[in-house]
Amino acid sequence: MELLGFSLPSYGWSTIFGSTISGVFLGSIYALVAVGLTLIYGVLHIINFAHGALLMLAMYAVYFLWNILGIDPYLAMLIVVPGGFAFGYGLQRFIIGKASHGKDEITLLVTLGVAIVIENMALFFFSATERSVRVPYDLDGIDLGVTYAVYPELAALVGSFLITLALWAFMTRTDTGKAIRAVSKERQGAQLVGINVDHIFAVTFGIGVACVAAAASLLVPTYAVHPQIGSLFVLIAFTVVVLGGMGSFVGALVGGFLIGVTEQLGRLYLGESLGVITISVIFIFVLLFRPTGLFGVKAG
Amino acid sequence: MTRDISNKSRRDFIKIAGATTALTATGVFSPFVARAAAPVKIGIVHPVTGWAQYSGSQARFGAQAALKEVNAAGGIKSMGGAMLEAMLGDAQSKPEIGAAEVEKFNEGGASAIVGAYASNICLATTQAAAKHGIPHVVDVGVSDKIVSRGLENTFRFGPGFGAITKAGVESFLAINKAAGSPTKTVAIVNEETTGFGAGIAKIMTKGLAPAGIEVVEVLSHPTPNKDFRNIVLKLKEIDPDVLIPSHYYNEGVLFLRTLQRQKVQPKAIYSVLGGASSQFRFLSEFPDAAQYVMDCNHWFDPKNPAAKALQAKTNAAGLHFNYEVFLAYTAMMFTVDAIERAGSSNRAKIMEAMASSKWSGSIMPYGPTVMDKGQNTGARPLVTQVMGDKINVISPSEYASTSAVFPRPA
């Protein structure tokens, strides 16, 4: 097989299909991390550098709930999601919001500071040791012929769809969702009609962190937890958000899958190290033709 | 008033000086005198944050354990019991940060440096230390480039990658022959970011070809790597008899677990510096994935009581007795021996003592220490295999506690 004069390795269809399916699984993880980010980034216009650190913190919470209390990582969602919301609400209302004085550039630095504090505290309290969760269904799954899909991967895939659907329903069907959209479109106008903007900002941030907490529950059975785990996903999640269109949940989901499949096929043909450049190539390519992202709308 | 105080001080001084002289002469104050010797500063640099944080922290523990042992036993005897003082540095898993830490050690007056775990970090730290003439003992970094650049300050007590791979090939051929030579094809999976395993395919191909074994695929990956499904899919398609992985701990865990999840079961997994393959931590966390995995790697002398004592100490600290611990421990002990023989904290004198070292007190299964351009040619690896809840030495025969299970049971 040749591409632009380079000869690429040839693989059987089973390997190519298998790689595509593994790309879908990887994409679902990117989408899970990206949906919370797109809410905060797209709706509030906050570049949340602490997103990866918050993911890591939530993963530790899930790990300790399993390790100390024996709670299954998926059941832990019932605790970490409300906990994540409360933490996110408090973080935005009492730290980020107050410290940034409504200025975007200060917000950016504050979230960066929060990330540094959380990561270093995790290193201090939890040490650098990687911690893995063992669940009884760890190796069980469905044989798809070309590849074997284990239950934790399938759960992440289903979870990414359900979380996206729930967020979409929340934003379009509830009064709070409408208030969030109103604040994102016209902050002063929203204030004039009686919406508490500070409260809505904090609620939005809280929902974003709750999404990250849900993602953490779905990631922990597959990925070991350590203080740097967030950075492994968050940079690609930013790419997914911009690619899908800022503030678009469907965009985050589709963008996640697109990046996941592209990355896996790129790694298959170009090698594990060089293959990741395909993420940047597809990112630039999409933005050249659709500057607002796949599902984004023009501002104003 | 001033006069009174001055008179009193003079009298007190005469009394104290007299008493001190008498007590020192009788040996009562000898510990005090011993501690008064200027401490010898040793830089300990490891990646205790970043992708190699787990292994770096383990290595730091090993180096510090040796240093504490020496101090508890009275310090450097040839220097009047001078204590060793650790200067800790974090390379943050980045070569340039490791080099910056060496600059700090130089300014702080370090007499020697021990570190820095990963090959790419070691390449940077040894080079930075060479600028200032600081002797640097590499603990883990196995890249053969580390000791082939003509740096007079760089020493490695453990074996390098080339020596380990050659020993690995010899042991594998013996194991394969004993099993009736069932291996026809092998595939190599190695890391390519830090470059420790550069050249593995060449050595393997050359070593295995005379036995009629073909290296059918070499699959390289970066470090860190978060997904091994593509590599495992390719392996499924190629279906080699034996897999030879060579990478760091995190990638080792992920690779072996992905093989398990994808139900890929070759006749054997025979690692060369497999990262996770002979790690007690991996065995305790994923005993099923670890079963029958063989590994040609750094391993302590299982018959040495000092090695067992260090193992107990490591376990008591809540850590795992992995190669990072005993290699860093040994590198520090080698450094201490050189300082002891040099009888000085002078960098050049310590370097001379390292170059002419014949040290034999190691907990490793090495022959006599002979330094050739900074590399200890007496160093060698052992081959282990996981069986149940134990990691047994299976080769060479003088250290083996049992024979290899090959091919592994389905």
Place of tokens 């390790």: A67
Q: Distance between CA A99 and CA B194 in Å, rounded?
A: 41
Q: What is the pLDDT of residue B27?
A: 45
Q: Is residue A107 part of a domain?
A: yes
- The pLDDT of residue A264 is above 90: yes
The residue ranges of every structural domain in chain B are 2-35, 40-158+305-379, 162-297+383-395
CB-based contact, B239 to chain A, within 8 Å? no
Rg (CA), chain A: 20
* B320 vs B152: which has the higher pLDDT: B152
Task: Give CA torsion, residues B136, B142, B144, B146, to 10 deg.
Answer: -20
- Say if A83 falls within a structural domain: yes
Residue numbers in A near B61 (CB within 8 A): none
Q: Is the pLDDT of residue B10 over 70?
A: no
Burial class (CB in 10 A: 0-12, 13-18, 19+), A123: middle
SS (H, E, C) chain B: CHHHHHHHHHHHHHHHHHHHHHHHHHCCCHHHHHHCCCCEEEEEEECCCCCCHHHHHHHHHHHHHHHHHHHHCCCEHHHCCECEEEEEEECCCCHHHHHHHHHHHHHHCCCEEEECCCHHHHHHHHHHHHHCCCCEEECCCCCHHHHCCCCCCEEECCCCHHHHHHHHHHHHHHHHHHCCCCCCEEEEEEECCCCCCCCHHHHHHHHHHHHCCEEEEEEEECCCCCCCHHHHHHHHHHCCCEEEEECCHHHHHHHHHHHHHCCCCCCEEEEECCCCCCCHHHHHHCHHHHCCCEEEECCCCCCCHHHHHHHHHHHHCCCCCCHHHHHHHHHHHHHHHHHHHHCCCCHHHHHHHHHCCCCCCCCCCCCCCCEECCEECCCCCEEEEEECCEEEEEECCCCCCCCCCCCCCC
Q: Give the per-residue pLDDT at B11.
A: 59
The confidence band for A3, taking pLDDT boundaries of 50, 70 and 90, is low
SS (H, E, C) chain A: CEECCEECCCCCHHHHHHHHHHHHHHHHHHHHHHHHHHHHHHHCCCCCCCHHHHHHHHHHHHHHHHHHHCCCCCCCHHHHHHHHHHHHHHHHHHHHHHHHCCCHHHHHHHHHHHHHHHHHHHHHHHCCCCECCCCCCCCCEEECCCCEEEHHHHHHHHHHHHHHHHHHHHHHHCHHHHHHHHHHHCHHHHHHCCCCHHHHHHHHHHHHHHHHHHHHHHHCCCCCECCCHHHHHHHHHHHHHHHHCCCCHHHHHHHHHHHHHHHHHHHHHHCCCHHHHHHHHHHHHHHHHCCCCCCCCCCC
Say if residues B307 and B366 touch (Cβ distance below 8 Å). no
CA distance B233 to chain A (A): 6
A228–B50 CB contact, under 8 Å: yes
CA distances B405 to B273, B293, B365, B381, B402, Å, are: 19, 9, 23, 19, 9
Which pLDDT value is given to residue A24? 96
Residue of chain B whose Cα is closest to the Cα of A222: B254
pLDDT digits (tens, 9 = 90+) for B117-172: 999 999 999 999 999 999 999 999 999 899 999 999 999 999 999 899 999 999 99
Give the per-residue pLDDT at B33: 46
Picking from B219, B221, B237, the nearest residue to A14 by CB comes out as B237
CB-nearest partner of B229 from A22, A127, A223: A22
- Could A264 and B227 be called an inter-chain contact, meaning their C-beta atoms sit closer than 8 Å? yes
Residue A228 lies in a domain: yes
Is A273–B286 a contact, with Cβ atoms under 8 angstroms apart?
Answer: no
- Give the domain range for residue A57: 2-129+137-289
Q: Do B48 and A128 touch (CB under 8 A)?
A: yes
Decide if A268 and B230 are in contact by the 8 Å CB cutoff: yes
N residues, chain A: 300
Task: Please state, in angstroms and rounded to a whole number, the distance separating the CA atoms of residues B141 and B3.
Answer: 66
- Report the distance separating Cα A214 and Cα A80, nearest Å: 7
Q: Is B2 a residue whose pLDDT tops 70?
A: no
pLDDT in tens, A141-159: 999 888 899 999 999 999 9
CATH classification of the domain holding A200: 1.10.3470
How far off is chain B from A190, nearest CA to CA, in Å?
44
Is the CB of residue B49 less than 8 Å away from at least one CB of chain A? yes
- Report yes or no on A44 lying in a domain: yes
Query: Homologous superfamily of B162-297+383-395 in CATH?
Result: Response regulator (3.40.50.2300)
Tokens of B143: 């890249």
Amino acid at B285: E
A228–B219 CB contact, under 8 Å: no
Q: What pLDDT is recorded for position A271? A: 87
Chain B residues close to A130, C-beta within 8 Å:
54, 250, 253
Kindly state the tokens that stand for B392.
């047994």
The three-point CA angle A235-A236-A237 to 5° equals 90
Q: Region of B205 please: left (phi>0), alpha (psi -120 to 50) or beta.
A: alpha
Cβ-Cβ contacts under 8 Å between A and B: the total is 88
Check: complex ipTM more than 0.85: no
At B161-184, the pLDDT tens digits run 989 999 999 999 999 999 999 999
AA letter at B253: V
**B285 contacts in chain A (CB < 8 Å):** 132, 134
- Looking at the complex, does the CB of residue B177 fall below 8 Å from at least one CB of chain A? no
Q: What's the mean pLDDT when you consider all of chain B?
A: 89
Which of A229, A232, A272, A276 to mutate: most B Cβ within 10 Å? A272
Alpha carbon of residue B393 to chain centroid: 18
- Look at A26 and B236 and tell me if their CB atoms are within 8 Å: no
* The pLDDT of residue B232: 95
- CA nearest to A122, candidates A226, A24, A256: A226
Which residue of A lies nearest to B260 if distances are taken between CA atoms?
A139
Q: Which of A29-43, A131-145, B14-28, B101-115 has the highest mean pLDDT?
A: B101-115
Tell me the chain B residues in contact with residue A15 when contact means C-beta distances shorter than 8 Å: 233-234, 236-237
Would you identify the CATH topology of the domain B40-158+305-379?
Answer: Rossmann fold (3.40.50)
pLDDT confidence of residue B17: 52
Q: Give the separation between CA B36 and CA B38, rounded to whole angstroms.
A: 6
Domain membership of residue A276 (yes or no) is yes
Q: Per residue in B328-359, pLDDT tens?
A: 999 999 999 999 999 999 999 999 999 999 99
CA B220 to chain centre: 24
Mean pLDDT of chain A: 90
Judge contact between B334 and B157, C-beta under 8 A. Answer: yes
Which neighbouring-strand residues pair with B86?
A: B42
Distance CA A65, CA A135 (A): 13
Which of A121-130, A149-158, A176-185 tops mean pLDDT? A149-158
Chain A hits for B195, Cβ within 8 Å: none
pLDDT score of A95 more than 60: yes
- Sign of the four-CA dihedral A72, A78, A81, A86: negative
**A263-272, B78-87, B121-130 — which is least confidently predicted?**
A263-272
Residue B285: band (very low, low, confident or very high) from pLDDT cuts 50, 70, 90: confident
Chain A residues with beta carbon closer than 8 angstroms to that of B220: 271-273
- Residues, chain B: 410
State whether B262 and A148 contact (CB < 8 Å). yes
Nearest by CB to B221, which of A264, A268, A272? A272
Mean predicted confidence (pLDDT) in B205-227: 90
Rounded CA separation A139/A222 (Å):
10
Share of chain B above pLDDT 90, in %: 72
Spatial CA neighbour of A160 closest among A257, A57, A235:
A257
As a whole number, mean pLDDT of residues B381-406 equals 93
Return the pLDDT at B34: 45
pLDDT of residue A7: 66
For chain A, how far is it from start to end, CA to CA, in angstroms? Answer: 47
Tokens, residue B4: 């009174």
Reported as a single tens digit per residue, the pLDDT across B181-200 is 999 999 999 988 877 776 78
Q: Which residues of B touch A18 (CB under 8 A)?
A: 229, 233, 236
Distance from CA of A220 to the nearest CA of B (A): 13
Closest by Cβ to A271, choosing from B48, B220, B263: B220
**CA–CA dist B288, B312 (Å, integer):** 25
Which residues of chain A make contact with B192, given a CB cutoff of 8 A? Answer: 273
CA dist., res. B324 & res. B55, Å (int): 6
Residues of A in contact with B224 (CB under 8 A): 232
Q: Specify the number of domains making up chain A.
A: 1
Does B230 contact A at CB distance below 8 Å?
Answer: yes
Residue A128 to residue B49, Cβ atoms within 8 A: yes
Closest-CA residue in chain A for B225? A272
Q: Which amino acid is at B278?
A: S
pTM as predicted? 0.81
For the record, the structure tokens of B192 come out as: 């390519």
- How would residue A272 be classed by pLDDT, with cut points 50, 70 and 90? confident
Answer for the pair B335, B359: CB distance below 8 angstroms, yes or no. Answer: no
Question: Mind listing the pLDDT tens digit for each residue in A211-258?
Answer: 999 999 999 998 889 888 898 888 899 999 999 998 889 999 999 999
Give B153 to chain A, closest Cα distance, Å. Answer: 31
A33 touches chain B (CB under 8 A): no
